[in-house]
């Protein structure tokens, strides 16, 4: 970020005492506290909804989250001479949540449940972000997986990683098809009973440890740029998957995390089924395959092979977790 971007701060009603470079952004020390100035790649409609959501969260007072500072003219973002957009947000210079510390993992889940209590907004006719559809997303990913498999099958000279990826493809692709088909059937039942709602629930969209900061004995949630209308289970799924992969799909940890969330915000039967299918879909395999296909193949990072190997090794534990926590009658 260059000096021209820093000059844009003059459009805000703040006195900047000094600026420092952060991760892809500028940290601004002001008389009102610390702010972060960073590029914004969304459109006007999206940032208006984001601001509306953050304002509502702030008014509820249940969690500490970022807020967008408008300019002197009331705009939510500014542009430089090249048309690059920037936003100014409140910030906390805390450390990231430690996903290897169980106590902090449980705290992150509790914080998420409290956040979700503040994420319901009245329907606004001006809202233009479509509600997320897992079915459409899974169908899209399945097409991408078929394309990658076809590419690998037709490739004559294969690296060790490509051979390993192809050897794993049929199992995970069939798994993706099965989950998608079951989810589609379940969605038809939901659609038949669905009534018109006067409120819409939003998700953070990227709730993971990078965006959960600890400072002065309190937690601060950042980076709501990916917020969207969806079942809050979306956020819980992302966080659970990250934590469970680190713990080799520990049934004990998974049940503790779910219990902490439900103590703050009970999970309905429908949302519980939603969570099951999101966890059951082989998302990690899709990510590995999609990253491989869309990147340069002249040199394949060794990290790709490590991720694939770990995924395959953990599959038995993942299926056991799904069986014990979701499919087993004795557990529910």
Tell me, yes or no, whether 87 and 31 share the same domain.
yes
pLDDT tens, position by position, 189-208: 776 655 556 678 999 999 99
For the domain that residue 63 is a member of, what is the CATH number?
3.30.200.20
- Alpha carbon distance 130, 272 (integer Å): 23
Last residue of a domain, one of 42, 76, 91: 91
Give the sign of the dihedral formed by CA 240, CA 246, CA 248, CA 251.
negative
Residue with tokens 């379940």: 186
Torsions phi, psi of 218, nearest 5? -145, 160
Tell me, yes or no, whether 177 and 299 share the same domain.
yes
Tell me, yes or no, whether 222 and 98 share the same domain.
yes
Tell me, yes or no, whether 117 and 240 share the same domain.
yes
Tell me, yes or no, whether 77 and 148 share the same domain.
no
Tell me, yes or no, whether 285 and 243 share the same domain.
no
Tell me which residue range forms the domain holding 72. 3-91
- Alpha carbon distance 57, 170 (integer Å): 44
Number of domains into which the chain is organized? 3
Per-residue pLDDT of the chain (332 residues; tens, 9 = 90+): 566 678 899 999 999 999 988 778 999 999 889 999 999 998 999 999 999 999 999 999 999 999 999 999 999 999 998 899 999 999 998 899 999 999 999 999 999 999 999 999 887 655 556 667 788 899 999 999 999 999 999 999 999 999 999 999 999 999 999 999 999 888 877 766 555 566 789 999 999 999 999 998 999 999 999 999 999 999 999 999 999 999 999 999 999 999 999 999 999 988 999 999 999 999 999 999 999 999 877 778 889 999 999 999 999 999 999 999 998 755 44
Tell me, yes or no, whether 136 and 80 share the same domain.
no
pLDDT tens, position by position, 164-183: 999 999 999 999 999 999 99
**Other CB atoms within 10 Å distance of the CB of residue 234:** 22
Burial class from Cβ neighbours inside 10 Å (0-12, 13-18, 19+) for residue 271 reads middle
Tell me, yes or no, whether 141 and 289 share the same domain.
yes
**Other CB atoms within 10 Å distance of the CB of residue 109:** 25
Tell me, yes or no, whether 223 and 245 share the same domain.
yes
Tell me, yes or no, whether 300 and 172 share the same domain.
yes
- CA neighbor of 57 nearest in space, from 49, 46, 65: 65
Tell me, yes or no, whether 100 and 223 share the same domain.
yes
Last residue of a domain, one of 218, 251, 267: 267
Tell me, yes or no, whether 83 and 189 share the same domain.
no
Last residue of a domain, one of 267, 300, 321: 267
DSSP letter (8 states) at residue 82: T
């Amino acid at each position: 970020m260059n000096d021209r971007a820093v000059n844009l701060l003059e459009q805000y009603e703040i006195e900047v005492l000094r600026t420092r470079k952060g991760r892809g952004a500028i940290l601004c020390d002001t008389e009102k506290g610390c702010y972060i100035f960073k590029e914004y790649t969304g459109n006007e409609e999206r940032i208006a909804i984001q601001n509306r959501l953050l304002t509502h969260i702030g008014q509820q007072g249940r969690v500490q989250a970022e807020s967008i500072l408008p300019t002197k003219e009331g705009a939510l973002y500014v542009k430089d001479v090249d048309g690059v957009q920037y936003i100014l947000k409140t910030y906390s210079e805390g450390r990231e949540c430690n996903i290897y510390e169980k106590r902090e993992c449980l705290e992150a889940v509790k914080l998420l449940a409290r956040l979700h209590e503040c994420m319901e907004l009245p329907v606004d006719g001006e809202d233009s972000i479509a509600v997320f559809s897992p079915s459409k997303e899974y169908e899209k990913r399945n097409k991408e997986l078929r394309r990658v498999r076809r590419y690998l099958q037709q490739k004559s000279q294969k690296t060790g990683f490509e051979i390993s990826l192809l050897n794993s493809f049929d199992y995970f692709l069939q798994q993706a098809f099965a989950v998608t088909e079951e989810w589609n059937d379940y969605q038809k039942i939901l659609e038949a009973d669905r009534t018109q709602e006067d409120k819409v629930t939003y998700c953070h969209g990227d709730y993971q440890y990078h965006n959960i900061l600890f400072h002065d004995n309190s937690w601060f949630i950042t980076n709501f740029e990916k917020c969207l209308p969806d079942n809050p289970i979306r956020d819980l799924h992302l966080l659970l998957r990250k934590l469970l992969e680190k713990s080799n799909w520990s049934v004990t940890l998974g049940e503790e995390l779910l219990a902490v969330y439900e103590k703050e915000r009970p999970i309905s039967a429908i949302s519980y089924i939603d969570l099951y299918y999101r966890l059951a879909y082989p998302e990690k395999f899709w990510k590995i395959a999609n990253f491989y296909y869309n990147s340069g193949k002249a040199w394949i990072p060794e990290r790709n092979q490590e991720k694939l190997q770990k995924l395959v090794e953990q599959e038995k534990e993942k299926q056991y977790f799904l069986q014990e926590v979701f499919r087993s009658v004795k557990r529910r």
